[in-house]
Structures are given as C-alpha cells and as structure tokens.
Amino acid sequence: MKDRCITPNMTVLEVIDRYRNTESVFKKYDEQAGICICCQSLFETLREVAKKYRLNLDQFLLDLEDAILTSAFPSFLINFIRIMKLG
C-alpha cells in the first residue's frame, strides 16, 4: 500500500479523535489484546500497542483504514481505491 491516512506513530487517541468510527476496530482488537486498548493504551502509538499486545501491525492498520474508508465511501469505491493503491 503506498499511502496511509493513518501511520504507526499516531496514538490511539489521535486516530479515534480524527476518525470516530475506528473505535469499533479497537474494541474488536480488545479480545485479542486481552485488555481494553482504549482504557489502557489511549496515549500509546499504534506501533507500541501492536508490539505490546502482539498484534499484527499491518493488519491492524488495514482494519483501521477499512473502517475509515467504509464510513466515507460506498463499497464499490473502496474496492476501486484499494486497487489503485496496490497498483
């Protein structure tokens, strides 16, 4: 993927503050992390969260981006954007 609207150096708070619908993604990862990420790691970066709770950082970022795209565009446009980015 060439460009990302979020980066590993953004904190959890920054991401949710900027893209509110990503909150559900963090909640989804709570089970895998074994804790409430938004409670315990709100001021940590995504990279730190991934490392700390052994999450796949790339997948984590993709899931967050998907949530952002889903809220902004219809599904056919999302697929188009993905193809363009991968291309």
For 11, list phi and psi in degrees, rounded to 5.
-80, 165
The secondary structure of residue 77, as a DSSP letter, is H
Q: How far is the CB of 26 from another protein (least distance, A)?
A: 9
Tokens for 61, please give them.
């970022």
Tell me the window of 41-49, 57-65, 67-75, 79-87 that interacts with another protein (CB under 8 A).
41-49
For another protein, the binding residue among 5, 42, 62, 81 (CB under 8 A) is 42
Count of positions on this chain that bind another protein (CB under 8 A): 16
For another protein, the binding residue among 1, 4, 13, 56 (CB under 8 A) is 13
Q: What is the DSSP string of 1-66?
A: ----SS-TTSBHHHHHHH-GGGHHHHHHHHHHHTS-HHHH-TTSBHHHHHHHTT--HHHHHHHHHH
Tell me the window of 11-19, 57-65, 74-82 that interacts with another protein (CB under 8 A).
11-19
Tell me which residues touch another protein (CB under 8 A): 9, 11-13, 16-17, 23, 36, 38-40, 42-45, 48
